[in-house]
Each structure stands twice: as C-alpha cells, then as structure tokens.
A and B are shown apart, each in its own frame.
Chain A
Amino acid sequence: MAWEAAVAVAAAISRNGSARALLIALTCAAAPVAAQEAPWTLSSDSLLYTDTDNVLVVSSELSAERALDEDGSKASASVVVDVVSAASVDVVSQASQSFSEVRWEANLAGSYAIGDVVPSLNYRGSVEPDYVAHGFGAGAEARLGGADTVASAHYQITFDTVGRSGTPFDTYSRALTVHSAELGLTQNLSTRSVLRGVLSLTIERGYQEKPYRFVPLFDATGLARAQADGAELRLGTFDRYRLASRPPEEVPEQRVRPALGLRWLYYLEPIASSVRADYRFYFDDWGILANTLELEVQHPLSELWTVAVVSRGYTQTKASFYRATYVVEQPDEVPGLRTVDRKLAPYDSLSGGARIELHTGAITAYFEATASYSVFHQYIYLDDLIALIGQGGIAWSF
C-alpha cells in the first residue's frame, strides 16, 4: 500500500509538476499513514471441490497477520481444516467403504526486515487420523541493487508420520522426511512487464506408499479368460480375472523432484488489463515429466471491482515402474515395484474459470469458479474425471 502510494506520488509529480501535483501528492501521502494505522489483517478463505469420482472436499482457512513495519516485517498465524468425503475408485477398487475424514493444519510465520534483506521463519503442523506432519522452514528475500530485482531463497524440512486409520501410531507408523529448497528471482523487465523464475528441488525419503493400496496381479491365463469373455479389465471386471494374491503397493524409498517455474506478467495498455503466463517444467527420478501452463487475464472494471479469467493445462508422463496391469509369469511372482496410484499414471488435464474481486479500503473479497477435465490414459479404474471447484474469501484490514 505504501509502495503503491509512493509510486503514485512520484508519477503525479513527474506528470504534472505543479500545484495540482502537490495536491495529488498530499492526498496519496495519507495512504502510508492509513497502512500503519491498519496493521492487522484477518482473513477467511474456503474451497469446495467435487468431482465425478465421488470426492467432496471442503477446505477452510482462518488467518491473522500483523504488519510490524512498512519494510516487510510481519507475523502471521493461520488454521486450515479440510473435510474429505470420498467413495472414489481408489476406495471402491480396494473393496473398502466410503470414508469421511478431517485434517487440521496450523501455520506460524514471522519475518523481520534488516535493511534490504527480509529473513523469515515458519512452522507448519498437520494432523489427520492417519497422518501427522511437522514442517520447519527458513528463508530470506532481498532487493538486489534497487527495486527492479528481488531474489528469494527458502528451505523447508518436514517430518511426516504415516499411520493407518483405526490403528494407533504406536502399533503402525512409517516415517517420511521431505526437504524442499527454492530459489527465486523477480525482475522488472520494463515499465509494464515483470518476469519471475523459481527453481525448486524437493527430496522425499522414507515411506511413500499408501497403506490402503493393494495392487492386483494378472497372469496369462487370467488375461486369456478375460479375452475369451470379451471383457476389458476395468473397475467392474478386473477382480474376476486377477490372481488371488494382491500385494501392498511398493514404490522407491527416495524421490528427487526438481522443477523450474516461470511467471511473466504484462500490462496491456489498450485494454487496461494484465496478462499472466505461468509455465512449469517438472521431472523426477521416478520417470515422471510434467508440463504446466497457466494463463490469466485480469481486468479492473472500476476502483472496486476486478474480473479475471483463468485457464490451466497440465500433462504428465508415467513413472517408470507404473503399469496399467502388472502381468507375472508365475502365480507366486511379485513385481519389486508396483502401484495403482493414478498420480503416477500418464494423464492430461485442462481447466478454466473466472474470478471476481472486490477491493474497498478495508475489505477485500473474491469468488472464483473453475471446472476441470482430466483424461487418464493407462488407468483401469477410471478413464476421465470432471471436477468443479468453487473458492472464495474475505479479508479485513484494520
């Protein structure tokens, strides 16, 4: 807010250079005072997700933030609650009942400006009946040689404990440690264009399976029977042709996951709108390669209202050990690595939506509606998926 006001003052003086400029400057100079007088921001955000695979998720977040100065020092706390209700193919294919689950998450963060550098610390804790996680992070953001270049770095380590619903953690638990490092650089390219690059590396070590996932195995006899019956191996038929043994999912202990993200923002003067293009290139040592492209056009209708249209395309290849069906030579043979996780299958997804925002002096609010369509190419339980996502929030500064 203070930065916007300072820029407006400088712009007004450079344009007018007169008593009118002084009047504009004095008016705008009041804005930083207002910002200092409203250091608190309380916000509430919610997301509703539902899809054709019988999954319903409601996520809500309540947060409070206190600005400590105009240079980026602040402290914040938030609580997130997810309520998940699912009878998806992931559940049905395991002959399990549908389930409902609640996850709680708490976040604490603080930053303190020292000159042009703003170091920060954060904690994130997450609890659900079969999963507990504690994450600790540290980072810094700095202006390099002026306001046109901002560099950032962040590291987070998360200690996860994976359990099984209905079983005490003392009886069954597995550990997973996640290291996430991120380097970012934001550069003003011109008076109407900004480019950001973010390089991230996530390393996961430990238990990465789901304890509820069991993998169906097939042999030549079973496949021949399916062929004779004219049956395709799908959710409703695979059980008839699989072998009796159904071993638990098994994936590698370690996963190294680099990604490069680029964000380009450009202001289109003729239509008074901003265009945002995000691109992400991701690959990992499990063999997945993914490309993500996101486009957004944001148009202020007035001082109060802004509208935006958003679209996103995502495509990924499969993990090297992923198979639509695992076929073995001998009935007692078990493939070393095996999974039925559709996040490790090849698939494409396309989504689009619109958002409306309201900005008054003290209140900001938004609502966004998105629909997405995903196609799974080698997943016997599901061919495609349509999802609807509604998201809204309100923030009050005082």
Chain B
Amino acid sequence: MVVLAPLLALSVGCATTQPWERETLAKRCMATDGNKHAQSLRYHYLSTREGAVGGLGGGGGGCGCN
C-alpha cells in the first residue's frame, strides 16, 4: 500500500500517450499479461518449488503438491 498508493495517486488521469501513438504498445510482444494459461501452469509448478508466493502471480493456496 505504501508503494502503490502514491503511484496510484500520481497516475490517475495521467495520460502519457495519445490513441494514435499506441501502435507500438498494441503490438503482441508488448502485452503485459502474455498467455494466461501458460503462465498459470508455470506459476503452479514454481509455487511448489519456491518459498515465495505472490507479486506478479502464483499467490493463493489450494494445492498440496510439494
């Protein structure tokens, strides 16, 4: 919260690009989420191997596989 709250406050309504300038941002290789099914399987195996969870994915419980 300490980190994200100021970022959120600063960026609300912070237009950095115009619609006609987003051609590069709209490229497939610039997608922020990537392939969600591939990531889900990957985070699943990583969460069973590493002591850390959360951040950019892999949080939560629901599996006893160690």
Contacts and interface: CB of A to CB of B under 8 A. Distances in A.
Interface stretch (A220-228, A258-266, A325-333): A258-266
Contact of B51 (A126, A194, A288): A288
B41 A278 contact: no
Give the one of B8, B59, B65 with max A CB within 10 A.
B59
Given A194-B30, A393-B37, A156 B54 contact: no
Contacts of A300: 27-29
A259 B52 contact: yes
B42 A197 contact: no
Interface in B36-53: 37-38, 40-42, 44-45, 49-53
A384 B12 CA distance: 47
Contacts of B30: 192, 194, 265, 267, 274
A187 B16 contact: yes
Interface string B18-31: 01111111111110
Interface string A282-299: 100000101010000011
Interface residues of B, number: 50
B17 A188 contact: yes
Interface in A15-38: none
A45 interface: yes
A147 B25 CA distance: 11
A227 B66 CA distance: 33
B51 A344 contact: yes
Main DSSP-derived SS at the B contact region: loop
A182 B54 contact: yes
A144 B37 contact: no
Main secondary structure of the interface of A (DSSP, over half): strand
A191 B17 contact: yes
Chain A CB count within 10 A is highest, among B7, B35, B40, B64, for B64
Contacts of A202: 53-54, 59-61
Contacts of B7: 185, 187, 197
A47 B45 contact: yes
Interface of A: 3-4, 6-8, 10-11, 13-14, 43, 45-47, 49, 57, 59, 61, 63, 78, 80, 82, 84, 90, 101, 103, 105, 124, 126, 128, 130-131, 133-135, 144-149, 151, 156, 158, 160, 162, 176, 178, 180, 182-183, 185-192, 194, 196-202, 204, 210, 257-263, 265, 267, 269, 273-274, 278, 280-282, 288, 290, 292, 298-300, 306, 314, 316, 319, 341, 343-344, 349, 359, 364, 366, 368, 374, 389, 391, 393, 395
Given A147-B19, A199-B3, 19 more contacts: A10-B19, A11-B22, A61-B37, A80-B44, A144-B13, A146-B13, A160-B61, A160-B64, A185-B4, A188-B22, A194-B32, A198-B54, A202-B61, A274-B30, A282-B52, A290-B52, A298-B29, A316-B50, A343-B50
